[in-house]
């Protein structure tokens, strides 16, 4: 069935450095890819998303890139801050469904 692989599972960076999280999806018909941030004790919150007709999208310090040929998409966080510490999930929505397939999550720690 459809699946989304996410790497790494944990990531530690120094404050001010960049962080990159990578995902690979299996269903080539997937056409919508949101990213969620989950802080301790809260539900996941959407931070950025990208549609299959776009290769890159940026929102301040956060950017997402999509390579449809390779079925890869990545989250880039620049100038990381301690408040960026959280668990991040990628997701893909297979075509023809309203269901989302989530990656396994990345625990990001930004060291002050």
Partner 1 sequence: EADIYQTPRYLVIGTGKKITLECSQTMGHDKMYWYQQDPGMELHLIHYSYGVNSTEKGDLSSESTVSRIRTEHFPLTLESARPSHTSQYLCASSDRGPRDSPLHFGNGTRLTVT
**Residue 76 interacts with partner 1 (CB under 8 A)?**
no
Per-residue burial over 86-95, b = 16 or more CB atoms within 10 Å of its CB, e = otherwise: bbbbbbbbbe
**Residue 100 interacts with partner 1 (CB under 8 A)?**
yes
Cβ nearer to partner 1, comparing 43 with 60: 43
Number of residues that bind partner 1 (CB under 8 A): 25
83, exposed or middle or buried, with CB in 10 Å at 0-12, 13-18, 19+? exposed
Round to whole Å and give the CA distance between 69 and 82: 34
Cβ nearer to partner 1, comparing 1 with 14: 1
Residues in contact with partner 1 by CB under 8 A are 1, 31-32, 34, 36, 38, 41-46, 49, 51, 87, 89, 91, 93, 98-100, 102, 104-105, 107
């Amino acid at each position: 069935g459809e699946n989304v692989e996410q790497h790494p599972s944990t990531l530690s960076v120094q404050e001010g450095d960049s962080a990159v999280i990578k995902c690979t999806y299996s269903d080539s018909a997937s056409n919508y890819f949101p990213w969620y941030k989950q802080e301790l004790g809260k539900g996941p919150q959407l931070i950025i998303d990208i549609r299959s007709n776009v290769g890159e999208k940026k929102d301040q310090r956060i950017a997402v890139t999509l390579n449809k040929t390779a079925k890869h998409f990545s989250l880039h966080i620049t100038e990381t801050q301690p408040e960026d510490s959280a668990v991040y999930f990628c997701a893909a929505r297979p075509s023809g469904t309203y269901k989302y397939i989530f990656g396994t999550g990345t625990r990001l720690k930004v060291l002050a």
